Amino acid sequence: MSHSTWVSILRSQIGGKKKKFLTLFRGPDQTGLQFAHPWVRFTVVKRHELKKKQHEISDVVFFCCLIVASFYEFSPHRGNANQDKQQRPELFKLEWSHRSSLLFLCVLADLLTGAQERCELPPLDGFPHCESKIKWMKEMWRSDACYANYGVDGSTCSFFIYLSEVENWCPRLLWRTKILADEADQRGQAEIRTSFESLYRSMSQREEFRWMMLRIKRMAEPWVSAIRSLAAKQNLAKRRRKKILVHLGLLTKESGFKIAENAFSGGPLGELVQWSDLITTLYLLGHDVRISASLAELKEIMRKVMGNKSSCPTQGDRVVELIYIDIVGLTQFKKTLGPSWVHYQCMLRVLDSFGTEPEFNHAHYAQSKGHKTPWGKWNLNPQQFNTMFPHTPDNSFIGFVVEQHLNASDIRHIDDIKRQNQSLVYGKVDNFWKDKKKYLDIIHGYMEVHGTVHGTSNVHLPSYVKNHGILSGRDLQFLLRETKLFVGLSFPYEGPAPLEAIANGCAFLNPKFNPPKSSKNTDFFKGKPTLRELTSQHPYAEVYIGQPHVWTVDIDNPAEVEGALRSILSQKIEPYLPYEFTCEGMLQRVNAFIEKQDFCHGQVMWPPLSALQVKLAEPGQSCKQVCQEQQLICEPSFFQHLNKDKDLDSADTVVPAYSDSRKHCVLQSDLLLFSCAGAHQSLRRVCPCRDYMKGQVALCKDCL
């Protein structure tokens, strides 16, 4: 039977009843078929009317089919769409551009088979506020008309659908999950990009982006090779293209930082490196990326939702689905959005170099502990904070790429460069060298000492140092290729330079800190939202790379320094760069986060539970420590599975845990306080550890 014949039969079946059914579904005071939210209003608000008119159910089905058939016959993709809209306006009130007619019929079938009536609620594990939110909705759903517009009608089922699909307090109903998944499948697919033209066009108009543009252009070739290589290794098809906002608060005039202005004159570049690489990654993965570096741009992008004083999110297509931002930008974003802020919190991904631990993130808990940091108290899921290095497992490690500055011609001749018996000191500022002469004298006894100190002041440099001044990336790479040892001076902490040196075949002498440095004993860390203890200048190199590339030594112990020097000089050390700091490694990691991390719909199970390895810590030991000792990493996503008996709930960053003295378990009552970092002198932490891919700490072996 042809499509047009089918439509004709449906029309004849509905006959003169069309007006009656239009009234049934839209109500006498409405002008057309308007479903405030996909499928919700139809299946929830009108179910009582349908129950009263069960003898008309078959006609209802025919009428719905007629609407669907009309949609297909007069689709905007066909030539006669506008003409038919004018002739049959009542059939085009429904905004089908964002809905699938097939799904509409599926939901109708659910309605007719009683799925709504059963409304079986799923387990609430991982949704601690769901019960209280449903209770609130029962009493307050009439307080704002927006709830009814989203399909809330006073039934528990309508509350649950709203709280799971519009807001994110409850798990989705099982019979709705398939519908929503199918809806997502209809949206645009992300296709990898291998040309930078459109990104260059959008960035070239802004002076603030000049340094980042230069980095992206220098690295364009390896980036394109990397996305092609990743696409060949893993399936990058069937990914949904997301609307992503990138707001760089550090580049706004209001921040007062002047980072962009100082980027070409020795200013700090770590954040710009990370932002450049993140923007490139999002773009090549095929997402719609909008970049903002001013309050005016931010307001323009978010203008649709800025004035929303309603208790509900703005209806219609979302302005953005994912937001990468920094701490400065976070303050600007919250102020710009006003009350709408709460509807966008779950979309945030905050670039945060040093990390934010749970006890600083939880506003009430931080206040109770007397933490006065200006950077914390955001009440986000701690995994929404994205770090430079994988030093805070409560956060997510997003990283950056170690740049290879050499061109194709350089690479062909790089192996011809002969290693000289020389070292290069990591410290471009004269003051970093203060009080380090005895340590450098020991090194000078074994090899030449070179430096790259900028400026005219060199009072702390020993006379034997050969200073090259500030070098271009290419010249620095050639210098590293003829150098055997890269020498740490204890500061700066956790920079990218040691990774560049190791990637060029140098050994790195990494100063050990005993006692470890933290906000308790080091001014640099005071005010930062972390109690993390650094055991060396570069903990990542110490823990995840190690010998023969990294030698962590007490620089005040001459025998230890000399022992390391003799070992380094007695062997040939090959260049090494961990996969996670390559272009491909970053593409793989960020893609996994975009596809798998979801803070808007409760505790989505990723990494897979098969990766969980439970370890019991000793009193005073954190989960971060006990997992690391087992060559594992603490995985905060798994805490909910170790946290089951509500009678033992306690709100603290050191639970779940076991008390030896009381012989019982203490469990967590507040999800935001699950913490890999917490430790207690009398409690033994019950720790969720996982394995990780070699060279890709952020991902477990079964994560892809």
Q: What confidence score (pLDDT) does residue 363 get?
A: 94
- Gyration radius (Cα) of the chain, Å: 30
Check residues 635 and 307 and name the one with the higher pLDDT: 635
Confidence of residue 323 (pLDDT cuts 50, 70, 90): very high
Confidence of residue 72 (pLDDT cuts 50, 70, 90): very low
In the predicted model, is pLDDT for residue 73 greater than 50?
no
Confidence of residue 426 (pLDDT cuts 50, 70, 90): very high
Which of helix, strand or coil describes residue 440? helix
How far apart, in Å, are the Cα atoms of 676 and each of 16, 180, 235, 638? 67, 33, 32, 11
- Of 46-60, 436-450, 661-675, which one has max mean pLDDT? 436-450
In the predicted model, is pLDDT for residue 566 greater than 90?
yes
In the predicted model, is pLDDT for residue 99 greater than 50?
no
Mean pLDDT of 691-703: 96
Q: What confidence score (pLDDT) does residue 184 get?
A: 55
| pLDDT tens-digit readout, 16-34 | 444 444 444 444 444 333 3
Class of residue 353 by CB neighbours under 10 A (exposed 0-12, middle 13-18, buried 19+): middle
Q: What confidence score (pLDDT) does residue 177 get?
A: 67
In the predicted model, is pLDDT for residue 285 greater than 80?
yes
In the predicted model, is pLDDT for residue 603 greater than 70?
no
Kindly list the structural domains of the chain, giving each domain's residue range(s) and its CATH number in brackets, ordered by start.
3-186 (no CATH), 197-352 (no CATH), 408-576 (3.40.50.2000), 598-690 (no CATH)
Q: Name which of 112-116, 138-142, 659-663 the model is least confident about.
A: 112-116
Check residues 603 and 106 and name the one with the higher pLDDT: 603
Q: Name which of 222-236, 301-315, 546-560 the model is least confident about.
A: 301-315
Q: How many CA atoms lie within 13 A of 680 on its CB side?
A: 17
Q: Name which of 10-19, 139-148, 211-220 the model is least confident about.
A: 10-19
What does the DSSP assignment read for 506-539? Answer: -EEEEEEEEEEE-TTT-GGGTTSS----EEES-H
Q: What confidence score (pLDDT) does residue 185 get?
A: 54
Q: What confidence score (pLDDT) does residue 39 get?
A: 36
**C-alpha to C-alpha distance for 670 and 44, rounded to whole angstroms:** 32
Mean pLDDT of 622-636: 97
Q: Provide the token pair at 688.
A: 């969720």
| pLDDT tens-digit readout, 147-170 | 999 999 999 999 999 998 888 888
pTM of the complete model = 0.81
How far apart, in Å, are the Cα atoms of 205 and each of 199, 201, 219, 260, 292? 11, 7, 20, 14, 12
CA nearest neighbour of 608 among 645, 647, 637, 579: 637
